[in-house]
Every structure is written in structure tokens, then in C-alpha cells.
Amino acid sequence: MPMKKVVILDRDGVINVDSDAFIKSPEEWVALPGALEAIARLNQAGYRVAIATNQSGIGRGLFDMDALNAMHLKMHRMAAAVGARIDAVFFCPHTAEDHCECRKPKPGLLKMIAERFEIDPAHTPTVGDSLRDLQAGAALGHPTHLVLTGKGRKTLASGGLPEGTIVHDDLRAFALDFLANVHE
């Protein structure tokens, strides 16, 4: 059986502009330049794209499921407009105080993605802008990729990245670098 080709992306700071005040509405959800086109490029190379995102704003009462669904609808529509497809969005609505298994840096969301798509973590890159994104991926043996958008520059400066993490300027650079180095 051929191996399933999947790339796992964080959302805020990787695909869209991030904010310390949280992204709480479709109006605040703004795609980063080239990010949706990067997803289209991955799709064209045969990769499915899954998102793993902490959305503690729900648990904090800053926005509700209707607002999150509206943000994701906007994201899917904007992606489709440039020929991109996001196959699934997995999110954790909890706060750190909930001590759940799905909030990154714990790998619960990535375990769910692995089960849904029947993937081998060793061949499934995970891309994020924060240390917790990378820690969640490294915990299951995913190749980890840091983008310097969102919190990425601060994350890089803080150090402590999982061994083997590859650094890219943004999602577009990740897609170009990753696809140039993939060996079937």
C-alpha cells in the first residue's frame, strides 16, 4: 500500500497572521502572503494538508464555535480560490489549566491526525512557529519545521528546538524546500 502523503501545519502564525490578543473572528483571520499558495503547491505535489491548532480562545470565552467555524470557512474559501485544499482541521479548545491531551505541546492532536490519515509520523512533516508546535511533532517522531512568521523568530532566538528542526522563512519557503528535497 502506498504511503499517505500528508503535511501537518499549525494555523496562527503559519497560515494566517497571529495576534497576542487571539484571532477571534473571520475579520481578524488574515492569510499570510503566499501561505495559501504554498498549500496549493503541496496539494499539486500530491500532499494532503491537515491543520493542528490550539484554540484556547474558546476555553477562555473569547470566541465560540460559531466564530471558529466562520474563520475556518473563510480559510477554506480563500484556499480554494487559489487552488489549495485543506483536508482537515484538528483543534484543541482547552486552556492549559484543563490539562488535556490535545493541547500542544502534548501530541494528542497529531495522534488524531495520524489515526485519521493512517500516516507514518517519520514521513509526515509538521510545521509550526512556536516551540510547542515542534515539541508535539517531535514527541511522535515527525520531522519538525520552524517558520519564521508569527512567533517563529522569537522561537528561534529562544533556542531549545527539537533536534533536526529545519528553519524556513515562511510557509512558501517550506513548501519549496520540502518539495525540492522529497525522495519518493
Summarised one tens digit per residue, pLDDT across range 105-161 is: 999 999 999 999 999 999 999 999 999 999 999 999 999 999 999 999 999 999 999
Q: What is the DSSP string of 30-83?
A: -BPTTHHHHHHHHHHTT-EEEEEEE-HHHHTTSS-HHHHHHHHHHHHHHHHHTT
Asked if the model's pLDDT at residue 2 lies above 90, the reply is no
Asked if the model's pLDDT at residue 184 lies above 80, the reply is no
Q: Report the catalytic residues.
A: 10, 12
Encode pLDDT of 54-67 as tens digits. Answer: 999 999 999 999 99
Give the up-direction half-sphere exposure of residue 36: CA atoms within 13 A in the CB hemisphere.
19
Report all structural domains of the chain as residue ranges with CATH numbers, in order of start. 6-181 (3.40.50.1000)
DSSP label of 127: E
User: What is the model's pTM?
Assistant: 0.97
